[in-house]
A = this chain, B = another copy of it.
Amino acid sequence: PKPAYLFVDNGKAELRDATRLWGKSTYETEDTLESEHGGAKVISIGPAGEKLSLISCIITQRGSAAGRSGLGAVMGSKKLKAVAVRGEGKVPVADIAAVEKLRKEYLSIINQAPARNGLHNFGTCSHTDASAHSGDSPVKNWGGVGVVELPDVSGLSKEIFNANVTNRHGCWHCPVACRGSLKEGVGEYKYPAGTKRVEYETAAAFGAMCLNNNAEAIIMASHICNYYGIDTISAGTVIAFAMELYEHGIITKKDTGDIDLKWGNYKAMVAMTEKLARREGLGDVLADGVKKAAERIGKGAGEFAVHIGGQELGLHDPKGDFPGFAGQPTSAKNMMDAAPGRHTGGFGPSHFGWLAINAAGLCLHINTMVDGTKYAADFLAAVTGWQRSVGEILKCGERIENIRHLFNLREGDNPLERKVHGRITGQPPQTEGPLAGVTADLLEQVYWNLGALDWDRVTAKPSRKKLLELGLNDIAEELWPPQINKA
């Protein structure tokens, strides 16, 4: 089929020709469609998604991404370049007085939350330097120790990442407004005006993971990823992976096109990121993430491919159980979430609220500042008129977890069969630094939560009883057909 984009205009949907947009960056695509359809909001893929990179993503507003799991390639495979939506509809509100009251109450809590000012002023990248040393960020492709191998993190400070910020903004009416836009780059890298301030995950991927402490290079790599439509977590990880292969001589300058992929060589990192985004040379080999790259390269490269189920991990080391983020069980979450490796994923009862809040389109950051499930229940009732208890919100999260999991199970993906790289869990443990001697209790986490979910210990199938309890009767019938019950 010819390239197309979906235009939704006040509820009317239409596929339109996108031939002229094919090959364009996400920036250009978004600008073009926004100006052609005054007031439209646009999501789009870049050349990476068009070329079916398995780590390509969907971008809006020059850097907000549906980042993980290669969703860009899903659109690319359908030749769907973008979705543009415009409308003047109103959101009906069941009880405007209640909304106003809740708004004031929660604003007061959020504005006093310690995390709020940090996020507003400096963004999520504010702790990049601290995380590189605390054991929060994985270092050197998950194999290193920040305090030992990247002792100088002064280049990764929040002040440096924010030096070039022109304005701070956020989602509609958000009291936090954790995003920022930059002026045009005037140093070594000439990223355009409007480039987004980097997020923590990007900064960790192109920072500690690559032993790089040059913030401008991180901003440039981030810009390249946003421009071409690439997931920064996976991109930074696959560059770190390539650096490790280069260190061990598994790839050489012959493979890299003379790029000297030494640890911490930020110029090489940026250059290779661009090749990856364009699928040129070694970049083509790397453009589907570490699992595929290792398969293509062979020569024992798989030993250095740190992923779960084919996806590179979000950059909070689960051995550290980063407090206040997702809490326990972080190792198991990385392994067992329906999109493994996601730092925003969930597994087991401690994530039910998290999953419900995420699915409601509410913010996982604000969730850490307020009582998230109560917040969701309160606003749900005021806005829609649906009175739902916190228990029902949690049940909703459990239902979401089951449905996501059941989709994978039906497709033959039993998460218990996923391999977890020893560097993730500390098998063997690190010998230096803040995580010295730490091995995550992955198996214990996995099976504890399987039991709590009432999913089978071997097949990972949710029990019939559980599915019926969640109101998933149709799935219960499909998963537990009568002839099996008789056996």
Instruction: Give residues in A with beta carbon < 8 Å to B.
Output: 348, 441, 443-454, 457
Residues of B within 8 A of A449 (CB): 451
Residues of B within 8 A of A454 (CB): 452
- Cα–Cα, bound, A449→B447 (Å): 8
In whole Å, how far is A18's beta carbon from the nearest beta carbon of chain B? 48
- Cα–Cα, bound, A446→B443 (Å): 11
Question: In this complex, which of A446, A448, A454 has the most chain B Cβ atoms within 10 angstroms of its Cβ?
Answer: A448
In whole Å, how far is A455's beta carbon from the nearest beta carbon of chain B? 9
- Cα–Cα, bound, A453→B448 (Å): 9
23 A-B pairs with C-beta separation under 8 A: A348-B451, A441-B457, A443-B443, A443-B444, A443-B447, A444-B447, A444-B457, A445-B447, A445-B457, A446-B447, A447-B447, A447-B448, A447-B450, A448-B448, A448-B450, A448-B451, A448-B457, A449-B451, A451-B451, A451-B452, A451-B453, A452-B452, A452-B454
- Cα–Cα, bound, A446→B454 (Å): 14
Residues of B within 8 A of A443 (CB): 443-444, 447
In whole Å, how far is A326's beta carbon from the nearest beta carbon of chain B? 16
Residues of B within 8 A of A441 (CB): 457
Residue of B nearest to A328 (CB): B457
- Cα–Cα, bound, A452→B443 (Å): 15
- Cα–Cα, bound, A211→B173 (Å): 79
Residues of B within 8 A of A457 (CB): 441, 444-445, 448
Residues of B within 8 A of A452 (CB): 451-452, 454
In whole Å, how far is A445's beta carbon from the nearest beta carbon of chain B? 7
Residues of B within 8 A of A451 (CB): 348, 447-453
- Cα–Cα, bound, A443→B457 (Å): 11
In whole Å, how far is A141's beta carbon from the nearest beta carbon of chain B? 29
How many copies of the polypeptide does the oligomer hold?
A: 2
- Cα–Cα, bound, A447→B447 (Å): 5
Residue of B nearest to A441 (CB): B457
Q: Which 9 A-B pairs have the closest CB atoms?
A: A451-B451, A447-B447, A451-B452, A448-B451, A447-B448, A444-B447, A448-B457, A448-B450, A444-B457
Residues of B within 8 A of A450 (CB): 447-448, 451
Residue of B nearest to A447 (CB): B447
- Cα–Cα, bound, A451→B456 (Å): 12
Residue of B nearest to A448 (CB): B451
- Cα–Cα, bound, A441→B458 (Å): 10
- Cα–Cα, bound, A452→B348 (Å): 11
- Cα–Cα, bound, A141→B144 (Å): 47
Residues of B within 8 A of A445 (CB): 447, 457
Residue of B nearest to A452 (CB): B451
Residues of B within 8 A of A444 (CB): 443, 447, 457
- Cα–Cα, bound, A262→B443 (Å): 42
In whole Å, how far is A122's beta carbon from the nearest beta carbon of chain B? 29
In whole Å, how far is A93's beta carbon from the nearest beta carbon of chain B? 34
Residues of B within 8 A of A453 (CB): 451
Residue of B nearest to A454 (CB): B452
Question: In this complex, which of A445, A446, A457 has the most chain B Cβ atoms within 10 angstroms of its Cβ?
Answer: A457
Residue of B nearest to A465 (CB): B349
In whole Å, how far is A431's beta carbon from the nearest beta carbon of chain B? 24
In whole Å, how far is A352's beta carbon from the nearest beta carbon of chain B? 13
- Cα–Cα, bound, A449→B445 (Å): 12
In whole Å, how far is A425's beta carbon from the nearest beta carbon of chain B? 14
Residue of B nearest to A453 (CB): B451
Excluding A446-B447, A447-B447, 9 further A-B contacts by CB distance (< 8 Å) are A441-B457, A443-B443, A444-B447, A444-B457, A445-B447, A445-B457, A447-B448, A447-B451, A451-B452
- Cα–Cα, bound, A286→B183 (Å): 82
In whole Å, how far is A203's beta carbon from the nearest beta carbon of chain B? 32
Residue of B nearest to A329 (CB): B457
Residues of B within 8 A of A348 (CB): 451
Question: In this complex, which of A446, A447, A457 has the most chain B Cβ atoms within 10 angstroms of its Cβ?
Answer: A447
- Cα–Cα, bound, A59→B265 (Å): 79
- Cα–Cα, bound, A443→B445 (Å): 11
Residue of B nearest to A463 (CB): B349
- Cα–Cα, bound, A452→B447 (Å): 9
